[in-house]
Amino acid sequence: MTTPFARSGPLWSTLEREGAVNDLDWTRAARWLEGELPAGPHREARIHWLTVPLALWVRQRAKAGETLMVGLNAPQGAGKTTLTRSLEGLFSDVFGLRAISLSIDDFYLRRDEQLALAARHPGNRYLEHRGFPGTHDVPLGASVLTALRDGRDVAVPRYDKSAHAGRGDRSDEVRWVRDRQDVVLLEGWMLGFTPVAQVNDKAVAVCNELLRAYAAWDSLLDVLIAMRMQAVDQVVQWRIEAEQAMRASGRAGLSDAEVEDYVRRFLPAYELWHPDATVALTLDAARRPVP
């Protein structure tokens, strides 16, 4: 049986209303995650309020012989990659579904293309480095996502964030995905954002216009999950912690000051653009879903 703690989570009423609660599968999924996720003060909430509920919510929508395209919008450093990899493992190891996770980061421009973009927009701090709308190869992303949706073999590019002293570049390596997947999980900080009618900042206005092209990605998604912040400034500390972890692993990365300068450029975007999500949760400063 699910515990009172699990039933107090923010997605419980949605799952119950949709008939997606299965006590046995919940227990199996939770046990698998206990063996995968590191111990920590908020692990139970990440398991029972976030990962297991989302896994059951997504599985409820999967259909045999079709590929369910799932988008995940969440701020930088919120744990998108950990969540999508956990979901991918649950689907394959516990629920018997073929699943793959990827990031919009995989479709960043090559380093030389990024430098050329910055040169075309001198003085625009939002296009100086990777991240904002306009810094991705949108046609490449649309091509890969379409192939995954249609069940065709496709090479997924990889992006090396440690290249060029942490400024990044597309890797020469690719990841081949063969045969139809039951679930495709695509995560990204700006996934599902749409342009707004008026932008006062001229530099941001350029990015707002470039954002229109990303409809090519959004149109390929069947559902969109959004994880929001209680306060916009949370993303600064989250991203610093993520970069510290990368440096601790031995990979090159930005300094804390460089990360803060980089991430603060994104704060206007979080205030301006918002995704039209199918289901949404709010995370507190500890990345714990708010009940």
Instruction: Give the residue extent of every domain in the chain.
Output: 64-283
CA-to-CA separations, 44 to 13, 135, 281, in angstroms, rounded:
18, 37, 16
* Separation of alpha carbons 170 and 168, rounded Å: 7
- C-beta atoms surrounding 276 within 10 Å: 12
pLDDT at 257: 86
Residue 132: name the closest of 153, 146, 114 by CA: 114
Is the pLDDT score of 143 beyond 90? yes
pLDDT at 246: 75
- Residue 104 in contact with residue 188, Cβ under 8 Å? yes
Is the pLDDT score of 150 beyond 90? yes
pLDDT at 114: 96
- Residue 187 in contact with residue 80, Cβ under 8 Å? yes
* Separation of alpha carbons 59 and 82, rounded Å: 18
Is the pLDDT score of 249 beyond 90? no
pLDDT at 200: 94
Mark residue 65 as left, alpha or beta (left: phi above 0; alpha: psi -120 to 50; beta: remaining).
Answer: left
Q: Which range scores top for mean pLDDT: 42-46, 143-147, 283-287?
A: 143-147
pLDDT at 149: 98
Sequence-distant (6+) residues with CB within 8 A of 203 are 121, 123, 124, 125, 126, 127
**pLDDT band (50, 70, 90) for residue 277:** very high
Q: Which range scores top for mean pLDDT: 152-156, 266-270, 285-289?
A: 152-156
- In this prediction the pTM is 0.93
Fold that domain 64-283 belongs to in CATH:
Rossmann fold (3.40.50)
Which value, in Å, is the radius of gyration of the alpha carbons in the chain? 19
pLDDT at 40: 86
pLDDT in tens, 208-230: 999 999 999 999 999 999 999 99
Residue 97: name the closest of 60, 70, 59, 69 by CA: 59
Of the listed ranges 57-66, 191-200, 245-254, the least confidently predicted one is 245-254
210-248 as b/e, with b when 16 or more CB fall inside 10 Å?
A: bbeebeebeebbbebbbbbbeeeebbbebbbebbeebee
Positive or negative, the CA dihedral 100, 240, 169, 164 is negative
